[in-house]
Amino acid sequence: LGALAHGRVTTGVLKIAVIGSGGLVSGALLARWRRTQRAGGSSAPLPGAAGAALDAATSAVVIASWANVINLLDLRPGRALKATALVAAPLVLATGCGRDARGAHSHLLAAGALGTAAAALPEDLAETTMLGDTGANALGALLGTAIAAHPSRLLRAGAAVAGTGLVLASEKVSFSRVIENNAILSRID
């Protein structure tokens, strides 16, 4: 964004535009879908146009930020795939998440992200293949969509804050350095 402020269009700006646009469209579709489902519990849509816009915006931020977070982690073999699996597994294993249509979509999308990570991990760790920007952003967007489709507004809002916070933190903090300096994260890495 700094380069754009100086009149230069970079691939980073193009990625923001493309991923952000995809997140907006997906967020709007998810919000619309939620409004057509039976209301009840924590998954009830917020009332009115403002509620629909907030729901769509939250989902868009979740999708776009998690696409970027997973891409930011794709600096070492297997790192982005492991992070995807660590976030997707609880969504897949959550009891009751797939019992109705509202939770089933999140469950299935998370299962897709987890399955993709598991299938790609051996070759990525062996350094015979790699996700790269395209694969990491796509996998992160799938993970973000799984989170954005979750019936809990609180989980979606928390994921939007966490994803955005991680993206902003990455501007000042090296994730690789943090991982290397933490015994547990380093071991997982």
114-133 pLDDT, tens digit per residue, is: 999 999 999 999 999 989 88
| Separation CA 189–CA 178 (nearest Å) | 11
| pLDDT average, residue stretch 145-168 | 93
| Separation CA 145–CA 23 (nearest Å) | 9
Q: What is the pLDDT of residue 41?
A: 46
Amino acid at the residue 130: M
Least confidently predicted of 43-47, 153-157, 168-172: 43-47
| Separation CA 148–CA 129 (nearest Å) | 29
**Token pair for residue 27?**
């967020």
Q: Which of 175, 157, 173 is nearest to 58 (CA)?
A: 157
pTM of the prediction? 0.83
Q: By the 8 A CB rule, do 34 and 45 touch?
A: yes
Radius of gyration of the chain (CA): 17
Band of the pLDDT at 81, cuts 50, 70, 90? Answer: very high
Amino acid at the residue 124: D
Band of the pLDDT at 27, cuts 50, 70, 90? Answer: confident
DSSP symbol at 170: T
DSSP symbol at 94: -
Q: What is the pLDDT of residue 101?
A: 59
Distances in Å between the Cα of 185 and the Cα atoms of 20, 33, 75 are 29, 37, 14
Q: What is the pLDDT of residue 134?
A: 85
